[in-house]
């Protein structure tokens, strides 16, 4: 058999997909939360960096995974709060605000990295911790699927559970109903006494929370160190994944899985004699194509809405 095909049909490849998907799925869920509330958060790149960095540093100096988790999440929430404050209170354009925050995070993490380690590259000199891998007995014993889905990092399982969490919050809780209402017609929500800014603030915090988990996984699971700009655009790919998934739980999950697949295949193809640059650009190119395909569908749906709803409500 062709060695490439052999690799793709191996359980290791399936395992790799889930592994590569994890740091995309977390932020994708985060983006989806923010987009449903009508305030798209493209600062998850920065959120992930800050959390990845905070997690490594805290685990190094306290030796506590729990503290690293808590502080990493706190860093993400803080970043999201800054964005929320500037967008919701000070009326900054959320995209430009996010560009600023991403720049801030990139600069700040390297700045602090240098202050702490004297190195601007990575924390490989530090003895930081990683989150454990879980062997779930029941999963391991499943034929074929077993090796693919068992033995993952605890955060990988958390990411998959987050999809369910996302579904429950959005469709089964008052907060989710309010997030959807605020995204669809903020004036409607406001008119029944819902504090629109507060709901958007919650949605942005949720996005920061999931972005933080994605960042923690990157530096304390995917690899075991922090390196400068290590997110490598995942916060942006998450935007594409959420958009592709229609900001819905299953859709976002499948889109992230798809991006995980494309990324993994790029890694595998690199083993054969093809220039790695060309392989590395594949996921980005595929994202652009997927974006185009999805936009055709979305545009069609939107056009229907515009024509059917020529009455003036919601235009205020």
Residues 5-64 that bind another protein (CB under 8 A): 42
Write the CA distances from 291 to 243, 252, 287, 295, integer angstroms.
8, 14, 6, 6
Q: Is 2 in the site for another protein (CB under 8 A)?
A: no
Query: CB-wise, 99 or 139, nearer to another protein?
Result: 99
Query: CB-wise, 138 or 311, nearer to another protein?
Result: 311
Query: CB-wise, 56 or 94, nearer to another protein?
Result: 94
Q: Report how far residue 295's alpha carbon sits from residue 298's, in angstroms, rounded to the nearest whole number.
A: 5
240 close to 288: Cβ distance less than 8 angstroms:
no
Q: For the segment 259-298, give every residue that binds another protein (CB under 8 A).
A: 275, 277-278, 280-281, 284-285, 287-288, 291-292, 294-296, 298
The region of 21-29, 52-60, 190-198, 256-264 touching another protein under the rule CB under 8 A is 190-198
Report the residue from 1, 138, 141, 191 that binds another protein according to the rule CB under 8 A. Answer: 191
Write the CA distances from 147 to 12, 15, 24, 40, 138, integer angstroms.
8, 7, 21, 37, 12
Q: How far is the CB of 104 from another protein (least distance, A)?
A: 3
Q: Is 299 in the site for another protein (CB under 8 A)?
A: yes
Angle at 224 between CA 220 and CA 227, to 5 degrees: 100
- List, in sequence order, the alpha helices (H) in 120-173: 137-140, 145-149, 154-172
Nearest Cα to Cα of residue 39 among 201, 164, 187, 170: 201
Q: How far is the CB of 67 from another protein (least distance, A)?
A: 24
Report the residue from 188, 223, 248, 270 that binds another protein according to the rule CB under 8 A. Answer: 188
Q: For the segment 136-175, give every residue that binds another protein (CB under 8 A).
A: 168, 172-174
Q: Report how far residue 111's alpha carbon sits from residue 114's, in angstroms, rounded to the nearest whole number.
A: 5
211 close to 44: Cβ distance less than 8 angstroms:
yes
121 three-state secondary structure:
coil
Report the residue from 194, 223, 248, 270 that binds another protein according to the rule CB under 8 A. Answer: 194
Q: How far is the CB of 8 from another protein (least distance, A)?
A: 22
**Per-residue x/- track, 241-260, another protein (CB under 8 A):** --x-----------------
Q: How far is the CB of 278 from another protein (least distance, A)?
A: 6
Q: For the segment 75-114, give every residue that binds another protein (CB under 8 A).
A: 86, 89-93, 95-97, 99-101, 103-104, 106-108, 110-111, 114
Q: Report how far residue 295's alpha carbon sits from residue 303's, in angstroms, rounded to the nearest whole number.
A: 12
Query: CB-wise, 39 or 150, nearer to another protein?
Result: 39
Q: How far is the CB of 137 from another protein (least distance, A)?
A: 31
Q: How far is the CB of 55 from another protein (least distance, A)?
A: 20
What phi-psi label fits residue 75: left (phi over 0), alpha (psi between -120 and 50 degrees) or beta? alpha
Query: CB-wise, 272 or 303, nearer to another protein?
Result: 303
Q: What is the DSSP letter of 125?
A: T
Nearest Cα to Cα of residue 204 among 21, 316, 13, 76: 76
Query: CB-wise, 74 or 282, nearer to another protein?
Result: 282
Q: Report how far residue 286's alpha carbon sits from residue 292's, in angstroms, rounded to the nearest whole number.
A: 10
Give the largest Cα separation in the chain, rounded.
Answer: 65
Q: Report how far residue 308's alpha carbon sits from residue 305's, in angstroms, rounded to the nearest whole number.
A: 5
Q: How far is the CB of 169 from another protein (least distance, A)?
A: 10
């Amino acid at each position: 058999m062709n060695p490439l095909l052999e690799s793709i049909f191996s359980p290791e490849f399936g395992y790799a997909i889930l592994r590569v998907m994890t740091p995309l799925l977390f932020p994708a869920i985060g983006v989806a939360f923010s987009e449903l509330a009508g305030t798209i958060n493209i600062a998850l790149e920065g959120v992930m960096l800050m959390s990845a960095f905070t997690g490594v540093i805290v685990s190094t100096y306290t030796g506590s995974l729990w503290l690293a988790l808590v502080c990493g999440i706190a860093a993400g929430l803080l970043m999201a709060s800054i964005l929320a404050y500037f967008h919701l209170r000070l009326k900054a354009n959320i995209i430009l605000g996010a560009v600023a925050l991403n720049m801030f995070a990139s600069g700040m993490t390297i700045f602090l990295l240098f202050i702490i380690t004297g190195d601007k590259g990575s924390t490989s000199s530090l003895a930081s911790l990683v989150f454990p891998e879980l062997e779930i007995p029941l999963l391991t014993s499943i034929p074929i699927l077993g090796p693919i889905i068992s033995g993952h990092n605890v955060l990988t399982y958390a990411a998959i559970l987050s999809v369910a969490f996302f579904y429950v919050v959005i469709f089964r809780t008052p907060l989710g109903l309010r997030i959807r209402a605020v995204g669809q017609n903020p004036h409607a929500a406001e008119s029944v006494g819902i504090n629109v800014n507060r709901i958007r603030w919650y949605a942005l915090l949720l996005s920061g929370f999931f972005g933080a988990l994605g960042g923690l996984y990157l530096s304390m699971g995917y690899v075991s160190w922090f390196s400068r700009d290590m997110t490598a655009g995942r916060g942006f790919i998450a935007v594409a994944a959420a958009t592709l998934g229609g900001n819905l739980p299953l859709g976002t999950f499948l889109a992230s899985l798809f991006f995980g697949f494309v990324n993994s295949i790029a890694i595998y193809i690199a083993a054969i004699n093809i220039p790695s640059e060309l392989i590395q650009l594949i996921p980005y190119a595929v994202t652009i194509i997927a974006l185009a395909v999805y936009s055709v569908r979305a545009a069609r749906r939107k056009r229907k809405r515009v024509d059917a709803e020529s009455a003036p409500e919601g235009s205020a």
